[in-house]
Chain A
């Protein structure tokens, strides 16, 4: 099978992009490691508070002119950026595989979804339009205009280093705001590449800034009076305790997308072969490191007697375990590989601790991913194979907490009501799916379930760029979501004008 060529040949120290200049950071340097090969592929600076301030000042300085640029001019910058992304599609995708570990199909999918957000934002002349009404009183007209606010901070997660910041960046810029992006320090190369393309696409200096780093940069953004809003995707404790609270204290707008524990229901009338294929992508795609990943597979016995239900459970779990055991794990640039490594060793160890906990709490370990079997001669440092537990209950640690790894917990529910109660007993509300041939059950599910993204015979409920990426309860903090029309509203202020001429 073909192993694709690596686009990064030697490790370079990444720079910050501030005010249209690539500048070295004064912060300490840490290594970016390819989790599949354990080779160092870049060095990234952990920038200082002063550097985040420089970036914010540059963005503030660029804002007055950028907001005055006609929407069509701003859109044209995005069109040029899109063209550069298309031209470098393959390189961008392979970089994601190298810095994150995901398979090349997953990386290309991520690249495409990122580009789609740029495409949607190019429609800004229509998307940003206000509305009006004549004669609200005699001779008086009223209208709404949408105006940009200033400088936004965008904080990216490690699990989608290319795509997630693009849920926000194109909309922020298209609406006339300026940005400071902080990529994850674990896999920052994609965002550096995008910023290089932004420079080539002709965004004026200061409009698009990038500051590498960690918590210092995040707290610098939260505290900075020059930043009017924050977009964050990461864990629930940080989203809730740091970002949402910090933005509240400093009066910033916020989109904070957080953790998840997603339930997938299999009804007795589901097409099992297709359901299992969708489940493999859902539970093991991106090595389970995504907020839309399946976590709990609930086999529902609606309408079945005890005997039939037990047989159905055995059939589902048997098929699931069988398929999971065949997943080929290895380096994502190997085209035969279906699942890559975890992002780093500590993440693997964390997942392994959950597996220990599952055994300790009495779940049945049907497939042990700690016994690694990988394709190719690679260090096993960051790899796990798919794991499957059966007999899991919602109270068990593995049934309720976010594992963020390739671990599936199979549960049982006697009927749809019980399954929905299980979903609601968990504090997260990011996504939930039902696999069924029944429109009645599907409608019941979509109507009642309190999760932001609902799948019907879909394992990964990833909204397209022209729909909001939703989320409820402990999976989302804020009001408006990223992507599409909601992002346009988030990045603009609605100003009302009431006009009368004497």
Chain B
């Protein structure tokens, strides 16, 4: 269902949860699949950095004079949620497939909110785009890990 007129605070809150959950997801993957522990841990750490980038940018540029409460129209946050539950018997291959789905949804989220936040100060959409780029690079790395297994 479409949620009209999401506030900036709601968008930032969603981003924070997405990065926290992603960080935990990759940390768990790293524990399970130790062959790629460094790569997976780097994804976890990067998500925490993404969280810092987004919240810092928001807090440093938010102003009540711009359309903070009225910018994000036509978004449904549930469309960007991926199932991040790792089942006990899940193979590494299936887990990486899940990770790709997570990254695709996250990239779409950041590009969509960057597009809608153009009227806010430039740093906010730039931060969203930066995280989308990082997530896209991460997705390519995961695909190469997956390719190795195929």
List chain A positions with a Cβ less than 8 A from chain B: 1-2, 89, 102-106, 108-110, 112-113, 274, 277-278, 280-281, 285-286, 292, 323, 326-328, 335-339, 458-462
Contacts and interface: CB of A to CB of B under 8 A. Distances in A.
B10 A1 contact: yes
A461 B9 CA distance: 22
Contact of B64 (A323, A337, A460): A460
Interface string B52-64: 0000001111111
B119 A277 contact: yes
Contacts of A102: 64
Contacts of A2: 10, 13
A297 to B, nearest CB: 15
Interface string B1-37: 0011111111001000000000000000000000000
Given A326-B4, A335-B9, A337-B7, A103 B65 contact: no
A335 B60 contact: no
Interface stretch (B66-74, B129-137, B142-150): B66-74
For the residues of B in contact with A, the DSSP-based class is loop
Given A109-B63, A112-B59, A328 B68 contact: no
User: Which has the most chain A C-beta neighbours within 10 Å: B4, B59, B60, B69?
Assistant: B69
A435 B60 CA distance: 27
Nearest to B60: A112
A77 to B, nearest CB: 22
Interface in B66-120: 66-71, 119
- Give the size range of B's interface with the partner: 20 to 34
A3 to B, nearest CB: 11
A326 B69 CA distance: 12
Nearest to A286: B64
A103 B63 contact: no
Contact of B6 (A89, A281, A336): A336
Given A105-B68, A106-B69, A327 B5 contact: yes
Contacts of A335: 7, 9-10, 13
A461 B65 CA distance: 7
Contacts of A286: 64
A168 to B, nearest CB: 19
A409 B77 CA distance: 34
A326 B6 CA distance: 11
Contact of A462 (B13, B65, B67, B68): B65
Nearest to B58: A108
A182 B58 CA distance: 31
A103 B5 CA distance: 14
A286 B68 CA distance: 12
B7 A280 contact: no
Leading 7 A-B pairs by shortest Cβ distance:
A109-B64, A462-B65, A460-B65, A105-B68, A338-B69, A335-B10, A106-B64
Contacts of A460: 64-66
Contacts of B9: 103-105, 108, 335
Contact of A281 (B59, B61, B66): B66
B5 A328 contact: yes
Given A2-B13, A327-B5, A337-B7, A103 B69 contact: yes
16 contacts: A103-B7, A105-B7, A109-B65, A110-B64, A112-B60, A112-B61, A112-B63, A113-B64, A277-B71, A278-B67, A281-B64, A281-B66, A336-B10, A338-B7, A460-B65, A462-B65
A102 B68 CA distance: 13
B63 A462 contact: yes
A126 to B, nearest CB: 23
A53 to B, nearest CB: 36
Nearest to B63: A109
A292 B65 CA distance: 9
B62 A108 contact: yes
A244 B66 CA distance: 32
A286 B58 CA distance: 19
A277 B13 contact: no
B63 A113 contact: yes
Contacts of A337: 7
Contacts of B66: 109, 281, 460
Given A1-B10, A277-B119, A109 B5 contact: no
B69 A112 contact: no
Nearest to A463: B65
A109 B68 contact: yes
Given A112-B59, A281-B70, 12 more contacts: A108-B9, A108-B62, A109-B66, A281-B69, A326-B4, A326-B5, A327-B5, A335-B7, A336-B10, A337-B7, A339-B69, A460-B64
Contacts of B3: 336
Contacts of B4: 326
Nearest to A89: B59
Nearest to B4: A326
A448 to B, nearest CB: 24
A77 B64 CA distance: 27
A62 to B, nearest CB: 33
A166 B4 CA distance: 35
B74 to A, nearest CB: 12
A106 B68 contact: yes
Contacts of A104: 7, 9
B118 to A, nearest CB: 9
A209 to B, nearest CB: 28
A458 B63 CA distance: 13
Contact of A109 (B6, B10, B62, B70): B62
A337 B13 CA distance: 13
Nearest to B73: A277
B125 to A, nearest CB: 15
Contacts of B70: 277, 280-281, 323, 338
B15 to A, nearest CB: 12
Contacts of B67: 277-278, 280-281, 459
